[in-house]
Structure 1
Amino acid sequence: MSQPFDPSAIFGGGAGGDNPMAGLLAQAQQMQAQLLAAQNEIAAAEITGTAGNGLVTVTGTGAGEITSVTIDPKVVDPDDVDTLQDLVLGALDDLAGKRDALAQDKMGPLAGGLGGGFPGLG
């Protein structure tokens, strides 16, 4: 008769020994909780993009929702709609860049932590 498979022979643990996989699982669960907290913080953040030295501002959330657009009346010229459109696009682009920077700031340390415990992710 053959012996039954004993995972502790591969992963350690078993009769009174420590199981390194349990530690790795706990580390992964902790990182998952930190990742979720960072995602929630990013989604709740209010970010403002501007263009034309503040003549156009676009405010939104880290989740990508646009919550307001403000346009200074002095930039509204019916004969020059192209400039206004460019300013709105510029403010949206500024908002997107700030959202990306916020995500990198909050998620960067967590992404770096993945490489330490998981082969192929670092």
Structure 2
Amino acid sequence: MKHFAILPALALIAACATPQEQCINTASNEVRNIRTGISTAQGNIARGYAIFKSRESYEVVDVCYDKDKKPYTCYNTEYRTIESPVSINVAEERRKLANLKKRLPAATRLMNKSVASCRVQFPE
């Protein structure tokens, strides 16, 4: 649930970013995604299983107020994140990790060139 609450805040921050910051953020996406994948794969290998996250809604009893400010019982929908273990093929996860680590240097070089280009294109 924490991740879902962060998304609107990130959208607001992105909307307030300067053109240079937006360009750099876009240029950094691939490296960020690869690093996230590496971290996830390492965690999965260390645990021996992956973690599947799902969002589940549930109803809670609450007190609401009508237009005359009279209280009445109502139901509100709230959400929680459920984490479940999922079996993985550890050998396949190791291959995926090796591939991600192999892709990282080239992606980092491309990111560095793109960030330099962003700084030239959008000086601050």
- Answer with 1 or 2: which has the greater Rg: 1
Q: Which structure has the highest helix share of the two?
A: 2
Normalized against structure 2, the TM-score is what?
0.30
Normalized against structure 1, the TM-score is what?
0.31
